[in-house]
Amino acid sequence: MPILAAGAVLWRRAAEVEIAVVHRPRYRDWTLPKGKLDEGESRYAAAVREVAEETGFRCALGRSLGQVSYAVGGVPKTVDYFAARVIDGEFTVNDEVDELRWLTPSAAAEQLTYDHDRAVLATFAANGPETATVLLVRHGHAGRRDKWHGVDDERPLSKTGRREAKTLGRLIPLFAPDRMYSAPKARCVQTVARVAEQLGVDVRLEPALLESADQAKALDRLREIVGEGGAAVVCSQGRVIPGLVSGLAKDSSVDAGEIRSRKGSVWLLSFAEDQMIGARYITQA
């Protein structure tokens, strides 16, 4: 059975961008922080947990930096890597790591033991750290419209939708968003209300994100949110999201692949200034 793991290019901005590399005395190597997924754990949660365990730093995930695959004792191993910004913390020697160094990307590349780590770092360095992250969420399941006898704007999440919102409550905080926006439909607001309360932020209603609104205005509004920097959650509807993703991808000549939008799914969109530098589709499956 393959080994699944996750890790990160952990970065901070001092006089310039610095990368954390760690020394593992057991293997006598210098690597990026990473480790195996626990049973039932997502790759996103594992990356944050492993960074904390190996480095002592709490981090906010950013864009995907791809996968690395190699064999360990004849068993295939796949590691998912992400960019990760330091929030706070302090390194202390632990069971796995006895030294941590903060280095410039070029110095870190020289320090790292393995070519696959250098390749991940090169992917990060090609665009540097992102200036904005948007988690573009499609609302969860809300039951059949023909079974709801009230105003459609007030149609609430179903049992499945509430379960999807609970899952988002575990995923979204890993990216440390500081703002939340939602189309003014009960099912959209309810999808992110739980995690908004968890994070202590308000959900701002955005009529421009409705399916009935002018989609060009929706894209303009999303560009404004990107321009504010930081990390934001935006919850909208199924006929809006593909146009937003494709519009941003076209702006930056990014290949977003097949643009899907299942209920309860998320597009992880990453930006350097006004250019989109990453687009990853995350389902709850």
CATH number at residue 154: 3.40.50.1240
Measured CA to CA, the distance from residue 120 to residue 80 in angstroms comes to: 10
pLDDT at position 146, please? 77
The H helix count followed by the E strand count for the chain is: 7, 13
Measured CA to CA, the distance from residue 197 to residue 182 in angstroms comes to: 14
- Pair of tokens at residue 222: 């999303």
Same domain as 115, residue 57: yes
Same domain as 274, residue 216: yes
Residue 256's nearest CA partner among 247, 264, 231 is 247
- Tell me the β-bridge partners of 147: none
- CATH number, domain with residue 73: 3.90.79.10
pLDDT at position 284, please? 66
pLDDT tens-digit profile of 11-56?
999 889 999 999 999 999 999 999 999 999 999 999 999 999 999 9
Domain boundary (104, 127, 150) is at: 127
Same domain as 76, residue 50: yes
Same domain as 121, residue 46: yes
Same domain as 70, residue 14: yes
pLDDT at position 242, please? 97
Same domain as 194, residue 66: no
- Tell me the β-bridge partners of 4: 78
Does the reported pTM lie above 0.75?
A: yes
Which domain does 185 fall in, by range? 132-282
CA atoms within 13 A on the CB side of 217: 9
Same domain as 160, residue 93: no
Burial 145-170 (b: 16+ CB within 10 A, else e): eeeeeeeeeebebbeebbebbeebbe
Same domain as 270, residue 140: yes
> Which residue is it, tokens 């209603």?
205
How many CB atoms sit inside 10 A of residue 210's CB?
A: 20
How many CB atoms sit inside 10 A of residue 176's CB?
A: 18
Q: Report the number of distinct structural domains present in the chain.
A: 2
Domain boundary (127, 152, 169) is at: 127
Same domain as 47, residue 153: no
Low-confidence ranges of the chain (pLDDT < 70): 284-285
Type and span of the H or E element at 232 = strand 230-236
Measured CA to CA, the distance from residue 249 to residue 95 in angstroms comes to: 43
How many CB atoms sit inside 10 A of residue 186's CB?
A: 19
pLDDT tens-digit profile of 128-162?
999 999 999 999 999 888 788 788 899 999 999 99
Measured CA to CA, the distance from residue 91 to residue 56 in angstroms comes to: 5
Same domain as 138, residue 123: no
Confirm if 4 and 78 have CB atoms less than 8 A apart: yes
